[in-house]
Chains A and B, each alone.
Chain A
Amino acid sequence: MSDMPWLTILLAVPALGALALVLMPRGFARSREFALGVSLVTLAIALFVGLEFIVGNGHVQLQETYSWIPQFGVSFALGVDGIALSMILLSVILVPICLIAAWDDVPSDGTRRQQGYVAWILLLEAMMIGVFAATDVFLFYVFFEAMLVPVYFLIGQYGGPERAAAATKFLLYSLLGGLIMLVAVIGLYVAGPGGSEGFLLENLTGLEIGGVTEKLLFLGFFIAFAIKAPMFPVHTWLPQAATEARPSTAVLLVGVLDKVGTFGMLRYCLQLFPEASKWATPLVLVLAVISIIYGALLAIGQKDMMRLIAFTSISHFGFIVLGIFAMTTISQTGSTLYMVNHGFTTAALFLIAGMLIARRGSRNIADYGGWQRVTPVIAGTLLVAGLSGLALPGLNAFVSEFMVIVGTFQRYPAAAVLGATGVILAALYILLWYQKIATGPKPENLSTTRDMTVREKFVVVPLIGALLVLGFYPKPVIDMLEPAVTITLQHVGVTDPAPATSADGSEG
């Protein structure tokens, strides 16, 4: 059984599902059910892949390599290490949840419009699996760019009133970054061994490029990832895109797609250009700290709750980048764990906010107040998700944020201290938001508003469950991530700083 090309199957199932939806005749009214079924099958296959995966091994596993375009040195090569697998699992868990959450967003009238929405989501799922599983730089690039198309249509065709502008802005930022990366991708091939498998990651790792070339290639990749991640100062597309997108789209956009940026920094920037990564570290750390504080400050001032969540993400991505470039085992493990946690937390925040918006018809925080009494279950789950967002101990984000700060402190105490202020600011924006929405006198004329429906419970229960499980018992995930992180750090050639006790030992 383990000889089966599981990763290819995993990628093909949602892609074929999307194709089937497009080819289905007009008037097929069960496209939502069909898409949900496909995404659940994908989830089952992914879980099976997870069982095949050997957790303690940090190397890339389940590898498949087929010749694709030998003239360019391109292979269709897939494989996962712990980091990639955790990202794939995050994606395939979130997709069915998003489909359920978007159930009523598009009417079930059997029009192309509805078929299109779920087909784009399935196509996006296939691309997300591909981008994380690719072990060929060219293949990664193909998925990285092709992914823009479904997101562009998901935002532009199904979003809010300003959707066209938001979609175009998203696309142009991403495309510009991607095209800069394209030059670096080709440059990497030229600098590498070449030949018919010259784009395979394993053939490009450990090259000694050196000098200006390595720095330029690093920058080509890093700029693309920074835009995707999104880091200050190239984050400006995100708030607009996340605001105009439907909550489900926003979850996939911020929860999963933006992770491609930080994933790319780990897998491509650090692994392929270790010297240039070390050279760029001071600047990246400064930008990461700015992202943390700037994102949090803007989140505090937000009046629009979708924008608020978008800005909290900019802050949280700052943490992730900080941990990656602090380059200690603890900080990077924390960052990769944070990537998983942030996916679930943001999903919960966006989707619960979406439920509120669907009931009140407004994204404006000032239009709410006292909803604890109107919809106690929604308000309660919002509080849990919010507390996870501000990293309350016992909830998932705490573990990862703690690890990032502790790990960073070992090498860059100043950055860790500055970054930690983000934790305090997080308490401010989350609690203020909750206070404005849920507390206070019961609003008038809202007595008929329904509390959480059964369908919405299907959305929220797995998410809250994930927040709690990952908060109390993150060990299985950490076990999966840590070996891969160790190997990444070996590629970079840095060792952890000696523990404080022995380093201070000589001084007394």
Chain B
Amino acid sequence: MFVAPEIDYLALLPLIVVFAGGLIGCLLEGFLKRQQRVSAQLWLTIGTLVVALVTLIWVARDNQGITAAGAVTVDGPTLMIQGLLLVLSILGVLVMSERLGGTTPDAFTQSGVSVPGSAEEADAVRLGGTTTEIYPLTLLAIGGMMLFPAANDLILMFIALEILSLPLYILSGLARRRRLLSQEAALKYFLLGAFSSAFFLFGAVLLYGYSGSMRLDVIAEAIGTQTGMDGLLIPGILLLATGLLFKVGAVPFHSWTPDVYQGAPTPVTGFMAACTKVAAFGAMLRLFYVGVEAARLDWQPILAVVAAITMVVGAVVSIVQTDIKRILAYSSIAHAGFILTGLLAMEQVGASSTMFYLAAYGFMTVPAFALVALVRSAGSEATHVNQWSGLGKRSPWMAAAFSFLLLAFAGIPLTSGFTGKFAVFAAAIANDYAWLAVIGVLASAVTAYIYFKVIVTLYFGETRTDTVVVTPSALTTFAVVCGVLVTLGLGVAPAPVLDLAANAAQFLR
């Protein structure tokens, strides 16, 4: 006999709002005229995200619990991660809408399916086709991201993983300029992402075989009582970890990151870099802290090695990069290592420092990529470091904002980057991972070299005249200013957010 599960709709309201917004967006694509779509989609998306945030704060917070037949958990970490995702996506969507003086979001192609340089594409450009499908795609991706850390069931986690990934694969391929690079990035992301999903699914199956359930709480219980099945447990955990480590771009599953970051439209890169990382680390926290915590002696050393290698590879390889987007990509790899260091500390401080770092990283990443999109040469983005030479003199505010964000990436005190690094390293040292913190600071020193090399180019380089910085629209300006202010605020007065993260670090089991 089938019994319908009790579903606490109020707890799920933010998710429902976001998915509903995404579906309405799809309908609008079909029914609205071209000229109306741009503003309608933009305001629908922003409105949806704001409403979701409001419901998250006013409704979902008071309805915490495990619901939907144990498949979804709404608890402190879920709410913290979801709230962070919503705020970051608002900024991300604002950046995506940058028109660069034209009438359509300029980073995106009018016709994603066409072959670059083909007659179809020329037609699409001539007709001034709009690129509004990015908005519903983004909303659906955000919905998947919000579901990811809330999933208390491996099947649901897998579904969330796919919901968040598929729109991102498409978005990566929509760059207007350098179409081939973009399509290659999308294909690469899709193929490798499909592999990692398969690993994840295989891991889930092994854990099902071990415990007889996909639910994390049942698996957690089984680890204490089940004996003689360790041959399923540890491979299962590691395969699940593979899927998640791929999403955060940890070594050795990082090789897609630089290519996809470089090929994707820059605003998408910013959104993807910030939000995917937040969602995937949220899911990781739930898997490792709730599901398989009891087996930590088996997986913790392996993950520690992964963290160490990730920091070292991300830092060392970034040195030889000459493309700003690739530099930021390798920096995101190194940052994934730093965040893993915090996650490994376990206990409450591990979760709270991880979430704080995610907030810090997200708020510097979105504006950083937004600024990258503004620097242009002959109509397309100028992402080679040399093309940025001397921008400090000609575009002082842009250069100052980008340099400040680079200081935050480098972890200089009085920026959020420093507070975040301090939080994760302190958590690691207090929990017997001092060696990981030492590797972390050495890697930080290495990454600082490349960040300061960019600052050198910006300020001390010869001025070039062929590179221009486009005056951003009010939307992008708002997003960048917000990001910079949060980056400064989390460096100067981080106490309230640290409190928030600490209070939100209790998992429901």
Contacts and interface: CB of A to CB of B under 8 A. Distances in A.
Interface of A: 67-72, 112-113, 141-143, 145-146, 148-149, 152-153, 156-157, 163-164, 167-168, 171-172, 175-176, 179-180, 182-183, 186-187, 189-190
B118 to A, nearest CB: 45
A107 B499 CA distance: 48
B353 to A, nearest CB: 10
B456 A186 contact: no
A72 B502 CA distance: 11
Contacts of B444: 179
Contact of A142 (B393, B407, B414, B429): B414
A451 to B, nearest CB: 35
Contacts of B430: 186, 190
B140 to A, nearest CB: 36
A72 B445 CA distance: 23
Given A68-B495, A69-B494, A183 B425 contact: yes
B459 interface: yes
A186 B429 contact: yes
Nearest to A171: B452
Contacts of A67: 495
Given A146-B412, A175-B445, A189 B426 contact: yes
Nearest to A148: B412
A157 B393 CA distance: 11
Contact of B429 (A153, A156, A164, A183): A183
A61 B14 CA distance: 54
A182 B445 CA distance: 12
Nearest to B497: A71
Given A153-B459, A157-B460, A176-B445, A145 B412 contact: yes
A130 B437 CA distance: 27
B437 to A, nearest CB: 6
B459 A157 contact: yes
A180 B413 contact: no
A145 B493 CA distance: 17
Contact of A186 (B413, B422, B442, B449): B422
Interface residues of B, number: 36
B425 A171 contact: no
Given A69-B494, A146-B414, A152-B452, 13 more contacts: A68-B495, A69-B495, A71-B499, A72-B423, A112-B396, A145-B418, A163-B460, A176-B445, A179-B445, A183-B441, A186-B430, A186-B437, A190-B426
B460 A156 contact: yes
Contacts of B178: none
Given A152-B452, A180-B441, A183-B441, A164 B434 contact: no
A167 B414 CA distance: 21
B34 interface: no
Interface string B458-485: 0111000000000000000000000000
A69 B461 CA distance: 38
Interface string B299-343: 000000000000000000000000000000000000000000000
A397 B408 CA distance: 42
8 contacts: A69-B495, A142-B418, A146-B412, A167-B460, A175-B410, A175-B445, A179-B441, A179-B444
Nearest to B453: A168
A331 to B, nearest CB: 33
B141 interface: no
B495 A149 contact: no
Contacts of B452: 152, 168, 171-172
B407 A149 contact: yes
A175 B448 contact: yes
Contact of A71 (B438, B445, B498): B498
A143 B413 CA distance: 8
Contacts of A163: 460
Contact of A172 (B412, B418, B442, B449): B449
Interface in B272-313: none
B58 to A, nearest CB: 26
B501 to A, nearest CB: 9
Nearest to B423: A72
Interface string B483-509: 000000000011100110010000000
Given A168-B456, A172-B448, A183 B434 contact: yes
Contacts of A183: 425, 429, 434, 437-438, 441
Contact of B498 (A72, A156, A189): A72
A71 B460 contact: no
A317 to B, nearest CB: 23
A244 to B, nearest CB: 11
A182 B502 contact: no
A2 to B, nearest CB: 28
A72 B412 contact: no
The 10 A-B residue pairs with the shortest CB-CB distance in the complex, in nearest-first order: A179-B441, A142-B413, A71-B498, A164-B460, A176-B445, A146-B413, A145-B413, A186-B429, A186-B426, A164-B456
Contacts of B396: 112
Contacts of A180: 441
Interface core residue of A141, A143, A183 (most chain B CB under 10 Å): A183
B434 A171 contact: no
Contacts of A153: 459
A158 to B, nearest CB: 10
A141 B423 CA distance: 15
Contacts of B449: 168, 172
Contacts of B442: 176, 179
Given A152-B452, A183-B441, A72 B422 contact: yes
B401 to A, nearest CB: 13
Contact of A182 (B410, B419, B425): B425
A71 B422 contact: no
Contacts of A141: 413
Nearest to B459: A157
A214 to B, nearest CB: 14
Nearest to B429: A186
Contacts of A112: 396
Nearest to A26: B396
Contacts of A70: 495
Contacts of B413: 141-143, 145-146
Nearest to A156: B460
Nearest to A159: B460
B416 to A, nearest CB: 12
A69 B492 CA distance: 9
Nearest to A152: B452
A190 B445 CA distance: 23
B460 A186 contact: no
Contact of B434 (A113, A175, A187): A187
A276 to B, nearest CB: 17
Contacts of B438: 183
A142 B421 CA distance: 13
Contacts of A145: 412-413, 418
A156 B452 CA distance: 11
Contacts of A186: 422, 425-426, 429-430, 437
A217 to B, nearest CB: 11
A141 B441 CA distance: 14
Contacts of A71: 495, 498-499, 502
Contacts of A190: 426, 429-430
Nearest to B400: A22
B456 A167 contact: yes
A264 to B, nearest CB: 16
Nearest to B461: A164
A235 B503 CA distance: 46
A187 B429 contact: yes
A149 B461 CA distance: 18
Nearest to B413: A142
B496 to A, nearest CB: 10
